[in-house]
Amino acid sequence: MSNSSSKQKLNVSIYGQQYLITGDESTEHIRHVASIVDEKMKEINHKNPFLDTNKLAVLTAVNIVSDYVKLRERAEQLETLLKEAKSEKENND
C-alpha cells in the first residue's frame, strides 16, 4: 500500500493524522490495518510517553516487523510440516 496517486484511495486516521492510502486491497483491509497501526502507536506511547511522534512511529514499525519476522518463521515451519504430511500421505496411498 502507498499514498501515491493510483488505484483505490481511502482516507484513514492514524494517531490523530489523516492519511490517504491507496492500494489494491479492500477498504475493509485498509481500515483494519490502519486501526492496528493506530492502536499499536497508542500502546507504545503509553509505555514511552516522552517519545516524539517520529520515533514513536519508527518504534511501532520495529515492533511490527519483529512480529512479522517471527510469524514468517512460523509460516515456513508450517509449510515444511504440511509438505511432509502430504508426501507421507502420497507414500501411503
With CB under 8 A as the contact rule, the residue among 10, 25, 31, 42 that binds a copy of itself is: 25
Min CB(77)–a copy of itself separation in Å: 9
- Rounded to an integer, what distance in angstroms lies between the CA atom of residue 13 and that of residue 34? 7
Residue 69: burial class (beta carbons within 10 Å; 0-12, 13-18, 19+): exposed
Query: Is the sign of the CA dihedral 52, 35, 60, 21 positive or negative?
Result: negative
Question: Rule CB under 8 A: which residues touch a copy of itself?
Answer: 1-4, 14-15, 17, 19, 21, 23, 25, 29-30, 32-34, 36-37, 40-41, 44, 47-48, 51, 53-55, 57-69, 71-72, 74-75, 78-79, 81-82, 85-86, 88-89, 92
